[in-house]
Structures are given as structure tokens and as C-alpha cells.
Amino acid sequence: MKKFIRFAAFLIIAAVIFCFLDRLLVRKELFGWWNITTKTNGFFNSAKDEYDVVFCGSSHSYCSFNPLVIYEQTGLNSYVTATQKQPFWATYYYIKEAINRQHPAIIVLDCYMASKNDDYTDDATNYTFCDDFPLGINKLKLVNVSAPQEKRFDLLVRFTKYHSRWSELDSDDFGFRPEKLKDWLNGYCMLTSTNPNVLAPSSAGFDGTIPLSEKNEEWLINIINLCRENSVRLIIVKTPSNETAEERGYYNSVGKIAEENGIEYINFNDLYTQIGLDMSRDFFDGAHLNCFGADKFSRYFASYLDTEPRKDDYDFSSRLKRYYRELSGDYMVFKTSHEFLK
């Protein structure tokens, strides 16, 4: 019995040490525009059934949908669960977690990644959508579909890929408390720079289709079925991104699949005039809206969200105050981006 107790104590101590090192050494993006660690953990730290709408997809989603503006226009509380170059199979599991935790009325999916044909994304992209995804059966399934067998362990156990970060550690690493993180922008990336040389979409007049990769089509159908089975309204969109004709071919295929399944699909690259986008002011780069473009787009898109808020007690006033201050050009030099303006 004593040997068993000592062995059990050893296992417990080893587990505690491992968890501490795992949390200490994991790569963290906590502050600034690309604070994806804060944004992702902020969603998973949210109260149950807090969000009426969840926005999903790649960077095209987190640079386009502003939940503060959506709330101001509609009273609906929302969150953006996008990550950089997030493939459809990863989006599926983010949506599955969102449905389990939030039971949203509406899921909005940006379909940019339909134009990419690789069966697996690069390691850095995989780490971005896996590192902060909560451990559980959905993470096991996500890892299994996201990488070949020899790379799956690193996606599941973070310590193995970050064990060499000792020389980079600072106070943020030692004070890291993921369970405390909240993002004042609810997952939106507020890009304040402007590229005045962006060209409008080059896809005018192209109505052909380019078939999706087999894996992309499979997981797009899986997303459609998941939302249907859970009585969640799915809206598939292409946010303003100055698409090429080739990209348009893939998006047209998405639109065809959506139509065949009775799903709403809107390509907003056709609606710049209606949205009021200014090519010289509203883009961060050739494919992503900046804060001015996202403000216009979010106000325009809000009209598509014809559902009633489940609650009316959200306090966004301090965050809206901060948002309008920054939108006007009075940018706050902030490090604690997850704290609300008091």
C-alpha cells in the first residue's frame, strides 16, 4: 500500500510540474492587433449561452466582423472565433464547441479557405488553431484530421514543441493565466493602418466554378450538416477581400453547394458600393479590411442578422467608448488588451 501511495504521489507531482511547464513555455500572443491567445481563450472563458451569433473562419473573418458594432446595431452579442488561415476542418470543431457552449442562433462562416487546396496547413497555422483549443474529445479529433500521424503528438502536447523557449521567457510567461483572459473586442482584430494602393476585385464578369478540393468539400458539407442537425442558421459569406478571378471560381463552387443545401450565401465582393467602401482608405492590405472598412461592413452586415437577442443586459458601454476613441485616431497604447476601459 505504501508503494502504491508513493507511486500515486509521484504521478500527481509529475503531472503538476508538467502542466506548469506546459503553461509556462507555450507560445503566447497576448497583446496588440494579433493577440490570438487572448482572443481564443476569451471565447472559451465566456459564460454559457452568452453569444447569439458566432463568426468563424480565417483572418478574413477576424478582420471584418466587429462584434461591438454588431451589438450597437442589433443588440446581439457575438464573438469571432477565427484564426489565421483556419481550414474548414478546424472551423468545424470550433463551430462544434461553439454550439455545445453557446447554442447560438446564427453561425457566420467566411469561405476564404475554400480557395486553398492543401490537405494539411503548415505547422505554424496548425499550432495557431490547436494550441488554445480546450483539451477534450473534439481536440483529439481536430488533431487527427489536421496533420499526418508523425506530427499529431506535437499538436496535442504543447510542451514537446515549445520546450526550447527558456531563453525567451519573460514576466508575461510566468504570469500567464489563460483562464482569466478576456478580449475587449470579442475576437475582432482592429487594424488601424491603411494601404491607399489597394486594387478593387479583378473577378468582374467571372461566373465559372473551380471545384473545391475533396477535403474542403467534405468539411464544408460537414459544417452545413452540423448546423442543420443543431437547428442553427448558417450564413456562408465572402467578406470584402478584392478576390482574384481564380478565387472567385472557388467561391462560386461554395455558393453552388450552399444553394444545393438550402444555405444562405453572399459574396460581398460584389457589394462595395452598397457597403460604401473606399479603396483608398478602408483596407489594411490587398485582402483585409482595416478598422474603417470593418466598421462600414459590420454596419451593413448587421441587417442580415434578423434574430432577437436572448438577453438585454450586456454592458458594452465602456468598450464602445474605447472603440470610438481608437477609431477616431486617439489610439491607446495598451498592453492589457483584454481589460475593458474603466
Q: What pLDDT is attached to residue 285?
A: 93
Residue ranges and CATH numbers for the domains of the chain are 36-152+174-327 (3.40.50.1110)
Q: What pLDDT is attached to residue 338?
A: 42
Residue 20 C-alpha from the chain's centroid:
27
**27-46 pLDDT, tens digit each:** 777 777 878 899 999 999 99
Q: What pLDDT is attached to residue 332?
A: 60
Average pLDDT taken over every residue of the chain: 88
Is the pTM of the predicted complex or chain greater than 0.85? Answer: yes
* Percent helix, strand and coil across the chain, each to the nearest 5: 50, 5, 45
C-alpha 225/C-alpha 220 separation (Å) is 9
Residue 59 C-alpha from the chain's centroid:
7
Q: What pLDDT is attached to residue 337?
A: 45
Contact 181, 317 (CB under 8 A): no
Start-to-end CA distance of the chain, whole Å, equals: 56
Q: What pLDDT is attached to residue 17?
A: 59
Q: What pLDDT is attached to residue 311?
A: 74
Closest by alpha carbon to 290, among 303, 275, 278, 305?
A: 278
213 pLDDT above the threshold of 70: yes
Reported as a pLDDT band with limits 50, 70 and 90, residue 205 is confident
Reported as a pLDDT band with limits 50, 70 and 90, residue 15 is low
The number of CA neighbours under 13 Å toward the Cβ of 267 is 23
184 pLDDT above the threshold of 70: yes
Reported as a pLDDT band with limits 50, 70 and 90, residue 153 is confident
Measured over the CA atoms of residue 57, residue 61, residue 65 and residue 68, the dihedral's sign is positive
Q: What is the DSSP string of 158-176?
A: THHHHTTGGGG--HHHHT-
**239-286 pLDDT, tens digit each:** 999 999 999 999 999 999 999 999 999 999 999 999 999 999 999 999
